Amino acid sequence: MKDFLYKLFLGSPTYNKPLKNTPYQTYVRDLKNTWDNKRHHDTGLEKVLRLFLVSIQIIFPAMHIMQALGKVGVITRNLVKEFYVVFKTLLPLVILMNDWYAHTWAITVSIYFMTETFLYVISIIFVSDIFIEPRSYRRNLLMLFLNYLEICFNYAVIYAGLDLLTGKVTGYVDYIYFSIVTSTTIGYGDISPATDLGKVIVSTEAILSLAFIGLFLNFFGSKMEHMYRDEEQ
């Protein structure tokens, strides 16, 4: 059974090579390289943004979870990252289904994890040079799809917790429905924001979702195109 699970999730042991640096060592190296323009000659606002995206990672759990694993194999670390992404995607659903959204901690946690996710997506674009070349772009597309769902679910928690909506709202499914409809900019009108704060938050979801989808399609579309060209040569 152990061999079956290893083969299912990790594949061949030869792929699971131990990493040379711990996440903390990599963090310090990437921060220094970004400051010194080692891999990318950026200036002005671009450099400020890149430094911010690299440095802000320290306040989120992902890096510390990876650090706790030590110098494990690269596939093992990727698998733990996947479980972390799945956890973050399911957490807001659990909050909604158990009616925990009325608690301040639930809204705070949702905003915290959603901020981590969105900054990670932005990092893929602006500091992609510090990331290890992914073994599979298809895997990254799958992870980004989960990130997108997570953002929608977290917004649903915020709408429910702050009681921001009016209309045909009867349960947590309606909050999820409204969040997804807003993220796709469809806007049926059966549910709408009830307050000025609600209008502001709905607007931020629409803008962030458009940015997310645009970055998603543009960046990975070009990556997939290059990959297919390499396979054909």
Q: What is the DSSP annotation of the chain?
A: -HHHHHHHHT--GGG-PBPSS-HHHHHHHHHHHHHTTSS----HHHHHHHHHHHHGGGGSHHHHHHHHH-S-BHHHHHHHHHHHHHHHHHHHHHHHHTT-TTSHHHHHHHHHHHHHHHHHHHHHHHSGGGSPPPS-HHHHHHHHHHHHHHHHHHHHHHHHHTT-EEES--SHHHHHHHHHHHHTT---SSEEE-SHHHHHHHHHHHHHHHHHHHHHHHHHHHHHHHHHHHHH-
Per-residue pLDDT tens over the stretch 68-85: 887 777 777 888 889 999
- Greatest mean pLDDT range, 9-23, 121-135, 168-182, 216-230: 168-182
| Average confidence (pLDDT) over 146-159 | 94
Lowest mean pLDDT among 17-21, 37-41, 168-172, 207-211: 17-21
Number of folded domains that form the chain:
1
| Average confidence (pLDDT) over 47-68 | 92
CA atoms of 135 and 16, how far apart (whole Å): 11
For every residue of 79-133, which 3-state class applies, written as one string? HHHHHHHHHHHHHHHHHHHCCCCCCHHHHHHHHHHHHHHHHHHHHHHHCHHHCCC
Residue 179 pLDDT grade (very low, low, confident, very high; cuts 50, 70, 90): very high
- Directed axis angle between helix 61-69 and helix 23-35, to 10°? 130
* pLDDT score for 181: 92
> Amino acid identity of 27?
Y
Question: Among positive and negative, which fits the CA dihedral 69, 72, 77, 79?
Answer: negative
Per-residue pLDDT tens over the stretch 194-226: 999 999 999 999 988 887 777 766 666 666 555
Counting Cβ atoms within 10 Å, is residue 126 exposed (0-12), middle (13-18) or buried (19+)? middle
What domain range is 220 assigned to?
2-232
Give me the chain's average pLDDT, please: 84
Q: Name which residue leads in pLDDT, 76 or 5.
A: 76
161 to 58, 105, 149, 207: CA distances (angstroms) = 28, 10, 18, 21
* pLDDT score for 138: 73
What global pTM score does this model have?
0.85
* pLDDT score for 10: 60
CATH code (residue 89): 1.10.287.70
* pLDDT score for 121: 83
* pLDDT score for 70: 74
Give percent of the chain with pLDDT exceeding 90.
43
